[in-house]
């Protein structure tokens, strides 16, 4: 492998890992807040459309969008921290069940097909 190809591969891996680690921090914070939801909701698809999103396809689902818009401590900070309780009373995905009730039930607050 050429040195430039190797450098590009290493850089790409670091970028993916950095994005993944940021999301893992968010997952850890979510699970710390809702320990009973760990098995069903401690994963990427709780806030993202794709189950394991890459940087260019990290589109947020309705719950993730509400978190970013209404619960981020500082929406402009590189590392996001969320006050999850700020969106507990909302029904982000519009399926008739409040986010907090979905989280308690282990269903996805960002997916209307899950309630």
Residues that bind Ca ion (CB under 5 A): 93, 95, 111, 114-115
When the beta carbons of 29 and 95 are compared against Ca ion, the nearer one is 95
Q: CA-to-CA distance for 18 and 41, rounded, in angstroms? A: 21
When the beta carbons of 20 and 101 are compared against Ca ion, the nearer one is 101
We find the least distance from the C-beta atom of residue 85 to Ca ion, in angstroms, to be: 18
We find the least distance from the C-beta atom of residue 10 to Ca ion, in angstroms, to be: 39
CA dihedral sign of residues 38, 40, 41, 45: positive
We find the least distance from the C-beta atom of residue 95 to Ca ion, in angstroms, to be: 4
Q: Quote the strand ranges of 1-115, DSSP E.
A: none
When the beta carbons of 88 and 111 are compared against Ca ion, the nearer one is 111
Q: CA-to-CA distance for 74 and 6, rounded, in angstroms? A: 36
Q: Looking up tokens 């999301």, which residue turns up? A: 23
């Amino acid at each position: 492998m050429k040195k430039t190809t190797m450098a590009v591969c290493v850089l790409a891996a670091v970028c993916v890992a950095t994005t993944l680690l940021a999301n893992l921090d968010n997952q850890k914070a979510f699970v710390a807040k809702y320990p009973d939801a760990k098995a069903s909701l401690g994963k990427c698809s709780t806030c993202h459309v794709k189950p394991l999103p890459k940087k260019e396809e990290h589109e947020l689902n309705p719950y993730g969008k509400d978190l970013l818009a209404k619960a981020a401590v500082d929406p402009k900070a590189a590392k996001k921290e969320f006050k999850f309780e700020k969106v507990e009373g909302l029904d982000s995905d519009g399926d008739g069940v409040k986010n907090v009730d979905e989280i308690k039930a282990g269903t996805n607050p960002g997916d209307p097909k899950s309630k």
